[in-house]
Amino acid sequence: MTTYSPRIYIYKITFEEVPYYYYGVHKEKVFNEEYWGTPKTNKWCWELYTPKKQILQLFDFTDEGWVEAQEVEKRLIRPFYTTDKWCLNESVGGFFTLEQQKQGGKIGGKLTGKLNYERGIGLGSITKEQRVENGRKASKEDKSKAGKLGSSKLKELGLGIFALTLEQRIENGKKGKKASSEVRSKNAKRACSQKWMCLETGYVTNAGALTHYQNYRGIDTSKRKRIS
């Protein structure tokens, strides 16, 4: 096998505008051929948004490597394809999501986003900017939920901040406040030590005092120069 031989690999597709994702496995005909997966039910996402591909793992370009890659793909998809709403995979190892099974008689398992877009229903009834904004809001909500879940797990296992006693957490909080106060004090001293000159009058003082001086006299506060 040379550096530019065809490859077998597991990949992940993500999208610039929304948090949807898709896992797949591919066996190249030629090295680095353009390939973006073969989605059927959720092909609409590739048409409406901007996909990006990440190669996760390479395998030997053999029959055994191909079988291994498919097994790894199944293990990768199985925890998410029926539980995570952002996962676009509809099946794994011959098993389909409940939604896919219910809609088995319809085109591609359900009305595709493209049809919705053409008919002006569902996602097709809102602009791309609205879809992007909705995706961002949903992603933010999911991250918040994940953070809460993470905190619950840490508390359950007695890890992270929950590994400390109440007294230790209080003491750390005091130290943090003290350090923050010291930083603010240093920043204030640094700002006061700086000297600025009004370019209209030549008056020299620190930044805060010069702002008050210029505002009082109706002088544009951008007309200043730092001299030390």
Q: pLDDT tens for residues 3-41?
A: 789 999 999 999 999 999 999 999 999 999 999 988 777
CA-to-CA distance for 55 and 29, rounded, in angstroms?
16
pLDDT at 119 over 90: no
Instruction: Considering only residues 141 and 58, tell me which one the structure prediction assigns the higher pLDDT.
Output: 58
C-beta neighbour count of 210 within 10 angstroms: 21
pLDDT at 74 over 60: yes
Domain-embedded: residue 91:
yes
Domain-embedded: residue 40:
yes
Mean pLDDT of the chain: 75
Domain end, chosen from 64, 97, 130, is at 97
Domain end, chosen from 57, 75, 97, is at 97
Query: Can you read off the two tokens belonging to residue 8?
Result: 């077998």
pLDDT value at residue 33: 92
23 and 57 share one domain: yes
Name the residue range of residue 180's domain: 164-192
175 and 221 share one domain: no
pLDDT at 214 over 90: no
Domain-embedded: residue 145:
no
Show the CA angle centred on residue 189, arms to residues 183 and 190, nearest 5°.
90
Instruction: Considering only residues 23 and 108, tell me which one the structure prediction assigns the higher pLDDT.
Output: 23
pLDDT value at residue 221: 81
Domains in the chain: how many in total?
3
pLDDT at 137 over 50: yes
Beta bridge partners of 55: 11
169 and 203 share one domain: no
C-beta neighbour count of 180 within 10 angstroms: 10
Q: pLDDT tens for residues 153-192?
A: 556 655 555 566 777 777 777 776 666 666 666 666 666 6
What's the pLDDT band for 128 if we cut at 50, 70, 90?
A: low
222 and 168 share one domain: no
Domain-embedded: residue 216:
yes
205 and 177 share one domain: no
29 and 53 share one domain: yes
Domain-embedded: residue 207:
yes
Domain-embedded: residue 139:
no
Model's pTM, two decimal places? 0.43
Domain-embedded: residue 75:
yes
pLDDT at 139 over 60: no
Domain-embedded: residue 102:
no
Query: Can you read off the two tokens belonging to residue 205?
Result: 């003082």
